[in-house]
């Protein structure tokens, strides 16, 4: 089972980078050899970014303009930002967005403000497994207007799946719980997650989208690798509160980056990010603390 997941990850990673041997890279080696490494997401990666779909991915220095090949990185990178945007706006323990396919993309420079991508994509709600074709616009600011990508997207059909009862149930169960929930390594090295931990894994993914939305540029392609841990804190102002440590994978640089996130969730307010902090890159951090 372990080997299956590892192979899936290797296929995904080599498929995207074209590198013959990912274990040569300390960063991916880090991820792939970590005893509790990843990657449920790699499964989707092969679907979206299979070897046969993406080419010429690394050496695209010049930003493509005009009509884009929907299977190449410029369009895929911009489209991935839409996924993060949808998660930050509408994500929940029971609603999780994915990018299913890019149908078309168009990029243009916008005087003084950046580059604008117009995209036709199929977005996916992963829990109900529903898809919808939607239009989106992503502006990567430039020059004076530094900052995160600005996104507009309408994928309203995906919001119609009724998750209110499940949300309320989870909320009531953990709102006044004596034992604050805590979990590590979602998913574990076998790609497994305890069923009752899945909502918290989803929350970790949604929270990670806040980072990925904020950090994405035309030169990045972030994926969630793993929720290293998530710990519930005491409920404040009717919001469930969580502290989480997540590992994100930039498919372009092949780096695994670590973030510490503090966020809240409630059915009424959704996920709100309180604090996000990138942790220094550190191989020692991944190792058990008590081996010396
Ligand atoms: C790939 O890595 C393995 C060890 O991880 C090594 O034995 C093998 O020679 C490498 N292959 C290439 C083509 O570098
Ligand atoms: C999701 O839906 C697609 C198409 O409707 C189907 O092919 C696929 O098997 C479904 N996946 C799951 C996990 O149900
Ligand atoms: C998002 O990124 C910008 C830099 O691009 C940073 O100034 C800002 O603080 C970040 N937002 C959060 C919530 O950390
Ligand atoms: C969460 O995981 C990180 C990285 O593995 C670790 O440094 C941190 O101590 C963990 N926190 C908890 C509460 O387990």
Instruction: Provide the pLDDT for residue 145.
Output: 63
Percent of the chain with pLDDT over 70: 74
User: Which residue CA neighbors atom 1 of ligand 3 most closely?
Assistant: 214
Instruction: Provide the pLDDT for residue 282.
Output: 61
Minimum mean pLDDT range among 21-35, 86-100, 156-170, 173-187: 21-35
CA-CA distance, 270 to 97, in Å (whole number)?
14
Instruction: Provide the pLDDT for residue 113.
Output: 84
More confident residue, 162 or 2: 162
Average pLDDT on 136-164 reads 91
User: Which residue CA neighbors atom 14 of ligand 3 most closely?
Assistant: 276
Distance from the alpha carbon of residue 10 to the mean position of ligand 1, in angstroms = 13
Residue whose pair of structure tokens reads 């709102």 in the numeric block? 175
Phi (first) and psi of residue 152, to 5 degrees? -125, 135
Instruction: Provide the pLDDT for residue 253.
Output: 87
Query: H/E element holding 109?
Result: strand 97-110
207, with CB counted inside 10 A (0-12, 13-18, 19+), is buried
Question: Which of 221, 47, 218 has the alpha carbon at shortest distance from 149?
Answer: 218
> Nearest ligand to the C-alpha of residue 287?
4
* Position 112 confidence tier, pLDDT thresholds 50, 70, 90: confident
Question: Which of 139, 94, 142, 136 has the alpha carbon at shortest distance from 119?
Answer: 136
More confident residue, 241 or 147: 241
Position 170 pLDDT exceeds 60: yes
Domain ranges of the chain: 4-286
Minimum mean pLDDT range among 197-211, 237-251, 272-286: 272-286
Question: Which of 64, 48, 55, 27 has the alpha carbon at shortest distance from 218?
Answer: 64
* 114 φ/ψ sector (left φ>0, alpha ψ -120 to 50, else beta): left
- Among 148, 208, 261, which residue has the most ligand 3 atoms within 8 Å of its CB, making it the best to mutate? 148
Instruction: Provide the pLDDT for residue 240.
Output: 97
Average pLDDT on 140-155 reads 87
Position 262 pLDDT exceeds 70: yes
Token duo for residue 107: 């990029």
* Position 64 confidence tier, pLDDT thresholds 50, 70, 90: confident
More confident residue, 209 or 219: 209
256, with CB counted inside 10 A (0-12, 13-18, 19+), is buried
Question: Which of 247, 95, 76, 214 has the alpha carbon at shortest distance from 161?
Answer: 95
Distance from the alpha carbon of residue 126 to the mean position of ligand 2, in angstroms = 10
More confident residue, 7 or 87: 87
Position 291 pLDDT exceeds 50: no
Minimum mean pLDDT range among 38-47, 196-205, 231-240: 38-47
User: Which residue CA neighbors atom 5 of ligand 1 most closely?
Assistant: 23
CA-CA distance, 265 to 212, in Å (whole number)?
18
Yes or no: say if 163 and 149 are a contact pair by the CB < 8 Å rule.
Answer: no
Position 233 pLDDT exceeds 50: yes
CA-CA distance, 52 to 285, in Å (whole number)?
36
CA dihedral in degrees (95, 101, 103, 107; nearest 10)?
Answer: 80
CATH number 3.10.450.10 is the correct assignment for the domain at 4-286:
yes
More confident residue, 11 or 139: 139
């Amino acid at each position: 089972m372990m080997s299956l997941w590892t192979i899936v990850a290797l296929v995904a990673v080599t498929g995207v980078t074209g590198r013959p041997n990912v274990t040569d890279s300390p960063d991916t080696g880090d991820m792939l050899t970590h005893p509790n490494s990843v990657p449920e997401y790699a499964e989707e990666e092969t679907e979206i970014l299979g070897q046969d779909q993406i080419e010429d991915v690394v050496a695209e220095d010049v930003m493509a303009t005009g009509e884009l090949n929907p299977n190449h990185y410029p369009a895929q990178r911009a489209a991935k930002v839409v996924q993060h945007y949808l998660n930050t706006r509408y994500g929940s323990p029971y609603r999780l967005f994915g990018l299913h396919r890019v149908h078309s993309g168009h990029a243009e420079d916008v005087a003084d403000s950046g580059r604008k991508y117009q995209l036709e994509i199929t977005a996916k709600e992963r829990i109900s497994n529903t898809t919808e074709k939607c239009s989106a616009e992503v502006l990567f600011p430039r020059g004076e207007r530094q900052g995160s990508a600005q996104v507009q997207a309408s994928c309203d059909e995906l919001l119609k799946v009724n998750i209110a009862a499940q949300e309320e149930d989870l909320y009531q169960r953990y709102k006044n719980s004596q034992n604050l929930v805590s979990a590590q390594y979602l998913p574990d090295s076998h790609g497994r997650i305890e069923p009752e931990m899945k909502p918290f894994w989803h929350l970790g993914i949604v929270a990670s989208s806040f980072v990925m939305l904020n950090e994405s540029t035309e030169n990045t392609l972030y994926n969630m690798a793993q929720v290293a841990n998530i710990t519930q804190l005491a409920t404040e102002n009717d919001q469930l509160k969580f502290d989480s440590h997540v590992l994100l994978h930039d498919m372009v640089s092949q780096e695994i980056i670590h973030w510490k996130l503090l966020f809240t969730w409630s059915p009424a307010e959704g996920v709100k990010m309180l604090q996000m902090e990138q942790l220094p890159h550190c191989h020692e951090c991944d190792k058990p603390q008590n081996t010396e």
